[in-house]
Structure 1
């Protein structure tokens, strides 16, 4: 299939996990892909995989918190491929060892979370939008989180900045909709990325699985397929929205797993 034929896509955090899955899936659908990541070898590895499969990819090293670096990423995309149609602002996160509850959270980590999640989203869109307008329109896809929708005992900073990403998404959609630039956000739930597998104990992973309405956790490809949909013209009438892709985590009552045992038969 070629749902993204003739489109140029920039994906941050494409060196691993969800970003890599999105880059490979978009390439398979015909997009020319800029693989952007702070870790140069990872970006190059993703690009090699894409090109080995017959696609076109440009690895770019980027610090999404630095305006000059983000501007250079976008200019590299336009210089290499002649335009820009899709931007996935995917980089984000916090350090769960420092992003604690209100009284114990590290304020330096809060500042880092703002830069890594919120500022990066603003910067990416700021430099992408003019090129999208020149191309006749485009799609910006921001990665939020279910942490933006619920409270938690930890990750106070993360929830706050991801909620800001949702607000930024709506503002961009309204401001540039008349120029045919769409902007949507995805709120992933628990996804089995390397970051999750390496940072959470197995009992915590099991508790996340039990909290889903579906009997499994997501894969990077589950989110990547959603990004492909938002990048494609299939979603041409969708803008300013938050798509919650969480296996039913935020839908299910906390009592539901225990109550299943009460069902007859």
Structure 2
């Protein structure tokens, strides 16, 4: 991946920041974009301190002019664009996304604007650049909420299902022009925010019980997989959605009971 250029949205922290750092460790120049410009610049400075090329930029992915300027900035600074990682998500909104019958429609619209319109705008402006320079890879960070029914996060799940669909459509339309597009669905990943929210909570034990692996996800689990699918080693992978989730989506809802009791529940 040496010499390639990546743009990562939502890179001020969590999965986005970890992926940006992983790209940089492999010789990729990275533009880190986030609605929190200071956070993006701080993360970029940390990466740059290792000798890698990195730049932080304030970007609201809902705003078309912001996204257009983000792609243009990557070209101005680094001369090309090989990888776009659509990672930014309306995480604060998802915490209020609880009951469809009383949902404020503005919450629905905000979730769709960030989680689905944002990646669409990224693709709109990145794909022509990638085609002109011989191809590229788009990695959309989705969620298991896209493929299962949850009793909450109605807008979030719908937005991520739409993102999975857009992933397949982009791959189908632009694949012959050497554009690959994949989606990644992380499982419960212990970001700083997740650790803080789960500390002392009974949810932590519940989540651990329902994963097939002995532990929950780490940031490098996601970052290393994203780096792989964005690399030439994954050149035959496109239009697909990948669960990197410790097997939580692969198991029946009663799997934890059967593991713990060694028998069927009936």
Question: Normalising TM by the smaller chain, what interval?
Answer: over 0.9
SS in 2 for 1:213: coil
Bigger Cα displacement from structure 2, 178-187 vs 254-263: 254-263
Residues 96 and 154 in structure 1, CA contact (< 8 A), matched pair in contact too = no
- Paired residues for 1:157-168 under 5 Å: 157-168=155-166
SS in 2 for 1:244: strand
Corresponding position of 1:65: 62
- Quote how far apart the aligned CAs of 1:97 are: 4.2
Question: For 1:117 and 1:232, how far apart are their aligned partners in 2?
Answer: 24
Q: Is 2:147 the partner of 1:132? A: no
- Quote how far apart the aligned CAs of 1:104 are: 2.6
SS in 1 for 2:7: strand
Corresponding position of 1:249: 248
- Paired residues for 1:46-195 under 5 Å: 46-94=43-91, 95-195=93-193
Residues 11 and 88 in structure 1, CA contact (< 8 A), matched pair in contact too = yes
- Quote how far apart the aligned CAs of 1:40 are: 1.6
Question: For 1:149 and 1:10, how far apart are their aligned partners in 2?
Answer: 27
Question: For 1:14 and 1:114, how far apart are their aligned partners in 2?
Answer: 19
Closer/same/farther in 2, CA of residues 55 and 138 from structure 1, 3 Å limit: same
Query: CA RMSD for the aligned pairs?
Result: 1.4
- Quote how far apart the aligned CAs of 1:200 are: 4.6
Corresponding position of 1:220: 219
- Quote how far apart the aligned CAs of 1:263 are: 3.0
Question: For 2:62 and 2:204, how far apart are their aligned partners in 1?
Answer: 30
Question: For 1:176 and 1:97, how far apart are their aligned partners in 2?
Answer: 35
Question: For 1:144 and 1:127, how far apart are their aligned partners in 2?
Answer: 20
Corresponding position of 2:257: 258
- In structure 1, stretches of 5+ residues that fail to align are none
Question: For 2:152 and 2:192, how far apart are their aligned partners in 1?
Answer: 20
Q: Is 2:62 the partner of 1:37? A: no
Residues 45 and 55 in structure 2, CA contact (< 8 A), matched pair in contact too = no
Question: For 1:193 and 1:104, how far apart are their aligned partners in 2?
Answer: 30
Question: For 1:206 and 1:104, how far apart are their aligned partners in 2?
Answer: 30
Residues 84 and 132 in structure 1, CA contact (< 8 A), matched pair in contact too = yes
The alignment's TM-score, normalised by the length of structure 2, stands at 0.95
